[in-house]
Amino acid sequence: MNTNIAKELNERYALTSSQVAFFIENGFIKLKHVLSPDALAYMDEVITKEVDRFTDQMLPMEKRDTYGKAFLQIMNLWRQSEKVKEIVFSKRLAWLAADLLQVKGVRLYHDQALYKEPSGGHTPWHADQYYWPLASDKTITAWIPFQATPLEWGPLEFSAQSFQLTTGRDKKISDESQALLEATLKQRGFTHVVEPFELGEVSFHAGWLFHRAGPNRSGKMRKVMTMIYMDKDMVLKAPENENQVQDWKQWCPGAEIGKPIDTPLNPVLTA
């Protein structure tokens, strides 16, 4: 990583009070010019190299379920590469997460590359925090596309203010979650926001916000990196489903129920 990119990734991005208020009200925000073309090109090169190491292990598209068709999902790449670690542990996105959550600092929960292949299917409606054994809602995901992402590429879509909805919080990503939540969100009158992403634009969404993505009709790979952050004082709760048990084992091993999650895999990134 050259000096200019390292400096950019670790400088604060100044949020306005109206941007913070928008996130608090709606549970998501899209921010322009968070990353420069040079920084994105570097991130693309480093992360795609690691993703490519795993793609040969994937089943053919026709043999996958709905979740499997949605994207290639590869997690905690920072543990596979020092260059990826530099990106994931950088402070610009982490401080944005802390400022939007209105907390003193954030820890990493885990990272995940989400590469939607040409002809990749839709990502069903879901809320991420269904999967997480975390005791508060002070969680947030940064969604970082490495390219401009028009509608035909399958950008992330949001149901504004839907973190207020408790219906569907027990549903994993599936055809069932898609059918139930599409009907419920429309019936309850939540605003559906689907827009292209410009190059350099990054979104953040709360753990309980319902969101989805359309299929990739572009003929090219839609390359996205995500980082999931949590309040640095986050406490582990007793898991409520098998997925939360697995997340506990994978992403915060050694953490104890009822105590702050302070493990080598969950460093504070805003110090």
Both tokens assigned to 139: 């969680």
**pLDDT at position 59:** 47
Structural domain count of the chain: 1
- Report the 3 state secondary structure along 143-195: EEECCCECHHHCCEEEECCHHHCCCCCCCCCCHHHHHHHHHHHHHHCCCEEEC
**Alpha helices, DSSP H, located in the chain:** 3-10, 17-26, 37-55, 66-70, 82-88, 91-101, 175-188, 242-251
Assigned domain for 183 exists: yes
Residues 6+ apart with CB under 8 A from 118: 216, 218, 219, 220, 221
Nearest to 51 by CA among 226, 263, 209, 199: 226
The one-letter amino acid at 22: F
Strands 222-231 and 106-116: antiparallel
Assigned domain for 36 exists: yes
Assigned domain for 171 exists: yes
Assigned domain for 263 exists: no
**pLDDT at position 271:** 78
Assigned domain for 102 exists: yes
Q: Running DSSP on this structure, what letter comes out for residue 253? A: T
CATH number at 247 reads: 2.60.120.620
**pLDDT at position 67:** 47
3-state secondary structure of 134: strand
**pLDDT at position 73:** 84
**pLDDT at position 122:** 86
Nearest to 90 by CA among 5, 147, 204: 5
Q: Running DSSP on this structure, what letter comes out for residue 89? A: T
Assigned domain for 70 exists: yes
Assigned domain for 108 exists: yes
Cα(238)–Cα(248) distance, rounded to whole angstroms? 10
**pLDDT at position 265:** 97
Structural domain span for residue 238: 3-251
* pLDDT tens, per residue, the chain with 271 residues: 899 999 999 999 999 999 999 999 999 999 999 999 999 999 999 999 999 887 655 545 555 455 454 558 899 999 999 999 999 999 999 999 999 999 999 999 999 999 998 878 888 999 999 999 999 999 999 999 999 999 999 999 999 999 999 998 988 888 888 888 999 999 999 999 999 999 999 999 999 999 999 999 998 999 999 999 999 999 999 999 999 999 999 999 999 999 999 999 999 999 7
Assigned domain for 260 exists: no
